Structure 1
């Protein structure tokens, strides 16, 4: 199992729009593509309270590549993402890391 840690830093004031997009659009499209989330968090205390952090669970890096590419090119995603950005860009930058659980991790 491979976990992907993704941190989205939003433009000022745009975090609510990102949260709404995930809740009402993104998750349903991910489900159709077999993308499994392992959790979502907003930053309570840290460098920025305009961040969304989440983890995805993949069987392998090849699994991630196949499913993520299919999601990114999904016509529904492309159309609905554009609609959510009609008032302007939401995300300023994205940082992504791929993590492998240790032998003593409670998450395998």
Structure 2
């Protein structure tokens, strides 16, 4: 298993709008294509205005196939247009659980 750990910094004052659009529009599309959402979080202490979501995949090939399918979906492409200008930064990491991790 690999985990796709994504951190987005949302423009000040845009968080509630983003979370609403994400929950109502993007999340159903992503669940349909990407599958296993491990968690979705917002920062509370430390750097603010950040959202973090973590997705689980079997391996890199599984991730590539699923993300390519989502990228080709016209509904996803329409969501991306509504998302323009929402973020000031984004970071993406692929992480793997250790052999002793409870999440494997």
Q: Please, what TM-score do these two structures have when normalized by structure 2?
A: 0.90
Between the aligned partners of 2:67 and 2:2, the Cα distance in structure 1 is 14
Please tell me whether residue 93 in structure 1 is matched to residue 82 in structure 2.
no
Structure 2 unaligned segments of length 5 or more: list them.
none
Equivalent in the alignment of 1:104: 100
Please tell me whether residue 63 in structure 1 is matched to residue 59 in structure 2.
no
Per the TM alignment, residue 13 of structure 1 is displaced from its structure 2 partner at its CA by 1.1
RMSD: 1.4
Structure 1 unaligned segments of length 5 or more: list them.
none
Between the aligned partners of 2:23 and 2:11, the Cα distance in structure 1 is 19
- Structure 1: 4+ residue segments shifted above 3 A: none
- Which deviates further from its counterpart, 10-19 or 96-105? 10-19
Q: Please, what TM-score do these two structures have when normalized by structure 1?
A: 0.87
SS in 2 for 1:16: helix
Per the TM alignment, residue 41 of structure 1 is displaced from its structure 2 partner at its CA by 0.7
Per the TM alignment, residue 65 of structure 1 is displaced from its structure 2 partner at its CA by 0.6
SS in 2 for 1:92: strand
